[in-house]
Amino acid sequence: MGKKKVKVTKTSRKAVKEAKPTSSSAFQVGSCAKGHTVVNASQMAEGLGIDAKRLRAWLRSENGVGNDKRYTRYQIDLDSKEGKSLTKRANVQFA
pLDDT at 66: 79
pLDDT at 11: 55
* Axis crossing angle, helix 41-48 with helix 81-94, rounded to the nearest 10: 50
d(CA 92, CA 95): 5
In degrees and rounded to multiples of 5, residue 43 shows phi and psi of: -65, -40
Q: What is the pLDDT of residues 24-79, one digit of tens each?
A: 677 788 888 888 888 998 999 999 999 999 999 998 888 888 777 776 788 889 99
Residue type at 53 in one-letter notation: K
Which of helix, strand or coil describes residue 91?
helix
pTM of the complete model: 0.66
Higher pLDDT, 36 or 89: 89
d(CA 80, CA 94): 21
